[in-house]
Chain A
Amino acid sequence: MKILKSIKWRLQIWYGLILVVVLAGFGFTSYQLERGRLFGRIDDELDRRVGVLAKALHRRPPRRLDGSEQPFDRPPPGQFPDAAPAGQNLRPPLELHLPPEDAHFFDTNDANHFYYVINSRDGKVLARTLDVTVGGGIGNDRRVSNGLPSGEWIEVGCSIVPELKALHHIALKLAGVGGIILFFGLTGGWWFVGRALRPVSEISATAVKISAGDLSQRINIAEAESELGQLAAVLNSTFARLETAFAQQKQFASDAAHELRTPVTVILTQTQTALAREREAVSYRQTVEACQRAAQRMRRLIESLLELARFDAGQEVLKRMQFDFAQTISDSAELVRTLADERGVKIISDLAPLEITGDAERLAQVVTNLLTNAIQYNRLGGEVRVKLAAANGLAVLEIADTGQGIAPEELPRVFERFYRADQSRTGAGNAGLGLSICKAIVEAHGGAIEVASEKNAGTTFTVRLAA
C-alpha cells in the first residue's frame, strides 16, 4: 500500500491509534469512576433503608389476657399480610412499624422508587411495599438483602433507571469530548507532521534538481536549529563541495583539452603546409621535427595527467624504504647541472645526512622538479640554495632561488593544476602541472610543501617530511 510507505501517513496512523487508546482508557476510567460513585451512593441509601427497616421491626408482644392488644400505632393498611398460621410459629411474628418520620424513605414519588420486602425465616413475606417491580426489566434495579439474627430477611431495592440514564448521558458526553479531542488531535498532528516533514520534501526536491544536473541548487533552510535543519545544512555543504569538485574537474578537463589543442594545431598546420606542394627533403625534415616536438609535448602532458589521476584515485603505490635523503638530493642536483650551467646558475648545497622512509624515486622527482624550476625561473647567473636539515623530528628541505619572485596574489595558486605564475613560460612543454605533481607526491608521503616568495628577491619552496 502506498499510504503505508508514506512517513506522514504512518506517523498519522500511529499517532491516531495512540490517541484513540489514550482517549478510550481515559473515557472508560471516567465512566467506571462515575458509575462507582453513583452506585456507591445508591448502595449507601439502600443500606440506610435496611437499617431503618431493621429498627422498625418489632415482635408483637404476647396477647394480653383481656385480649386487648398493646396500644400500637396502626400501620398503614395492607402492610401487614397475614401472619403465619397459628400454631406453626410459637414465637410471635415480627411486625413492621415504620415510624412516620421515616416514611419518606419509601416515598413512591422518589425517582428511585425504593421498595422493600421482608421475609420470615420460612420464606413468608412479612411485609412489603406495594410495588416491588418499579424498575421494570432485569438489571434496572439494585437490591440489598440483609439477614437479621432472628432469621428474617430484609430486602431493599430501588430502581436505578435515573442512574443508568445519567451514566448513558456521561458516556455520550465522554464519547463526544473524545471525538472532538481526536479530531483536533489528528488535524493538529497532520499539520504538525506536515510542518516537521516539510524540510524533507524540500531536501528531496533540491536533491532531485541536483541529480538532474543543476549543482548550484541549495536547500532553503528555514529552521537551522532542528535536526532536519542541521541535516539540510550538512547536505548543503556537501552539495557545495560537490559543486566545487565538479567545477574543478570541469576546469581540469578543459585545461587538459586546452593544453592538447596547441600541439595538435602544430601538427595539423605543419603537415598541411608540408603537403600543400612538393618540397625539398630538408623542409620535410623540419616538418617531421616540429611534429615530433608536438608529440613529445603531448606525451609529457598525458603522462603528467595520468600521474595526477593516479594520485587522485589513490592508486599510486609508493615504495616504502629507508634511504639517505641527502644523497637523493645531491643526485638530483647532479642531474640538473647541465641546465644550471647553461643559465650560469650556481647550486649551493648544505645537506645534512638524513635517513627518511619513503619512495626514493618519487621524492627524487620532487627535488629535480623544484630544482629545475629554481634554475629556470632564476635570473641568469643567479643562485639556487639547497638546504636539508632535521627539525622537530621532520626532514626539512629548502630550495631557494634568486629569481624575480612570485606576486603575493599568485602565490596561493602556484600548486593549482595548469597554473603558470608566468604566462611567458608557456610552450616548451611546461603545462603547469609540475608543482601539482610535487604536491601530490609530498602529500602522499604525509608531508607538506610550502612556498614563500619576495618580489625581485626570490622564491623558496619548503618540503617537510617525516624523518
Chain B
Amino acid sequence: MRILIVEDEPDLLASLAQALREEGYAVDTADNGDDGLFNAEGTDYDAIVLDVMLPGRDGWEVLKCLRQTKVTPVLMLTARDQTRDRVKGLDTGADDYVVKPFDLEEVFARLRAIIRRRANQTTNVIELGDVKVDTAARTVSLKHKPVELTAREYALVEFMALHHGEVVTRTQLYEHLFDENDTTMSNLLDVHVSNVRKKLGAEFITTRRGHGYCIE
C-alpha cells in the first residue's frame, strides 16, 4: 500500500510518515499543496492524507484539482471541526476526515477503511480459499494457522488480496509497495513473490506471463 502525506508542519509530517511506514505502508510526503497535487496526479496512491491548511494551494483546492483526474481515496486532516467544514470536505470529494488533534490509531483505522472501500471490500477480513487476510490485525492465516510474513510480504499479499480476481502488473506492485525513497532492485519483487508462495502455497499467486500476477 502506497500513501501520500501532504502536511506543512514538519514535525507532524515526519512522525506521520514514520508511523505509517512502521505500519507497513510505502509513504511519500509533500509539504505544500502544489507538490502534493503534482505527486498525487503522477502516481496511483492507495490513499492520500491531506491537510486542509497548506501553503500554496490549500487542501480543498488540491482535492478539487485531483478529483478531475483521479479517484484516489483521500483522508483530510482538519483543524476545524465545525460541521460546515466537514460537509465541505466530504462534498468536495474527500472520503473521510480526521480532526486535529487525533490519535494515530484513528488515522490508521480510517485509512484502512477508505482503502478497503475503494476495493469494494466491506470487512477487514478477506478470505481466499484456505487463506485469510486480516487487514486490521495485519495477519495472514492458512487453514486457521497464522503464517509469519515480513512487512513487505504482507503488503504484497494485502494488495493482491484487495485486487483478487484482477491481474496486477509488476509496475503496479512496484508503485504500491515501494515509495519514492526505495531504490529497489527489480528482482526484489520476484523474491517477495516466491517467499509468499513458499509460505501460502505455490498456487496462491499465479503468474500471467507478460502481464503480471493474479490471485484467483
**Contact flags (1/0) for B12-41 with A, using CB distance below 8 Å?**
101110110010000000001000000000
Known: A272-B103, A273-B104. A266 touches B12 (CB 8 A): yes
Contacts of B18 in A (CB 8 A): 273
Most chain A CB within a 10 A radius of its CB, from B12, B14, B55, B82: B12
**Contact flags (1/0) for B100-136 with A, using CB distance below 8 Å?**
1111110000000000000000000000000000000
Q: How far is the CA of A294 from the CA of B82 in the complex (A)?
A: 24
Residue of A nearest to B99 (CB): A261
Does B8 interact with chain A (Cβ within 8 Å)? yes
**Contact flags (1/0) for A420-438 with B, using CB distance below 8 Å?**
0011111100000000000
Q: Choose one: A262, A272, A276, A287; the contact of B9 (CB below 8 Å).
A: A262
Is the CB–CB distance between A261 and B100 below 8 Å? Answer: yes
The smallest beta-carbon distance between B186 and chain A, in angstroms, is 31
Does A293 interact with chain B (Cβ within 8 Å)? yes
Q: Choose one: B19, B54, B82, B99; the contact of A269 (CB below 8 Å).
A: B19
Does B210 interact with chain A (Cβ within 8 Å)? no
Q: Choose one: A287, A423, A424, A427; the contact of B10 (CB below 8 Å).
A: A427
Is the CB–CB distance between A424 and B104 below 8 Å? Answer: no
Contacts of B101 in A (CB 8 A): 261, 264-265, 267-268
Does A2 interact with chain B (Cβ within 8 Å)? no
Q: How far is the CA of A277 from the CA of B79 in the complex (A)?
A: 28
Which residues of A in the span 188-208 have a Cβ within 8 Å of any Cβ on B?
none
Is the CB–CB distance between B55 and A272 below 8 Å? Answer: no
Known: A268-B102, A427-B10. A258 touches B58 (CB 8 A): no
Known: A268-B102, A427-B10. A273 touches B19 (CB 8 A): yes
Is the CB–CB distance between A269 and B79 below 8 Å? Answer: no
Does A94 interact with chain B (Cβ within 8 Å)? no
Does A290 interact with chain B (Cβ within 8 Å)? yes
Contacts of A254 in B (CB 8 A): 80, 82
Contacts of B32 in A (CB 8 A): 424
Which residues of A in the span 245-293 have a Cβ within 8 Å of any Cβ on B?
254, 258, 261-262, 264-270, 272-273, 276-277, 287, 290, 293
Q: Choose one: B11, B22, B54; the contact of A293 (CB below 8 Å).
A: B11
Q: How far is the CA of A424 from the CA of B16 in the complex (A)?
A: 20
Is the CB–CB distance between A424 and B19 below 8 Å? Answer: no
Can you report 26 A-B residue pairs in the complex whose CB atoms are below 8 A from each other?
A258-B80, A262-B9, A262-B79, A264-B100, A266-B9, A268-B101, A268-B104, A270-B11, A272-B19, A272-B105, A273-B15, A273-B18, A276-B22, A276-B104, A277-B22, A290-B11, A293-B11, A422-B55, A423-B53, A423-B55, A423-B56, A424-B56, A425-B55, A426-B55, A427-B9, A427-B10
